[in-house]
Amino acid sequence: MALVAHDAKKDDLVTFCSQHRRVLVGCDLIATGTTGGRIKEACPDLSVTRFKSGPLGGDQQIGARIADGKVDVLIFFIDPLSPHPHDVDVKALTRLAVLYDIAMALNRATAELLIVQILKNQRVA
């Protein structure tokens, strides 16, 4: 699972991860640099592989993992109210998630639904 959040949404994603840590502890997590650092700080029991910060290429690194078939789920809490210098990278990342048909949540409501499904899958496995 890949985890990414824009700055204004990082607190929300950290809270989300804390609340669902028992599900997330069973997942291989990757994240952009700052997002991953914040998650690790709040949830030291989660194993999170951190890539570069988004504006420095982290979104593209995650996109490459998606293209390699190594990501099943992208949770990306986007901030729709701020401009981002690396908007083209963000667009490329979400485009690849659609192209490779992986589950993608861009807000908390959808991410909650994905967690329910992941929990079900973990119970069956």
Ligand X SMILES: O=C(CO)COP(=O)(O)O
Structure tokens at 107: 């807000």
- What DSSP assignment string belongs to the chain? -EEEE-GGGHHHHHHHHHHTHHHHTTS-EEE-HHHHHHHHHH-TTS-EEE-S-GGGTHHHHHHHHHHTT--SEEEEE--TTS--TTHHHHHHHHHHHHHTT-EEESSHHHHHHHHHHHHHHHHH-
Check binding of 4 to ligand X (CB under 6 A). Answer: yes
Query: Any idea which residues carry the catalytic annotation?
Result: 59
Site string for ligand X, 24-63 (x = CB under 6 A): --------xxxx-----------------xxx--xx----
Of the CA atoms within 13 Å of residue 101, those in its CB half-sphere come to 0
Closest residue to ligand X in the complex (CB): 54
Q: How far is the CB of 95 from ligand X (least distance, A)?
A: 13
Q: How far is the CB of 6 from ligand X (least distance, A)?
A: 6
26 is in an annotated binding site: no
For ligand X, the closer CB: 55 or 119: 55
53 is in an annotated binding site: yes
For ligand X, the closer CB: 7 or 112: 7
- Which parts of this chain interact with ligand X (CB under 6 A)? 4, 6, 32-35, 53-55, 58-59, 86, 90
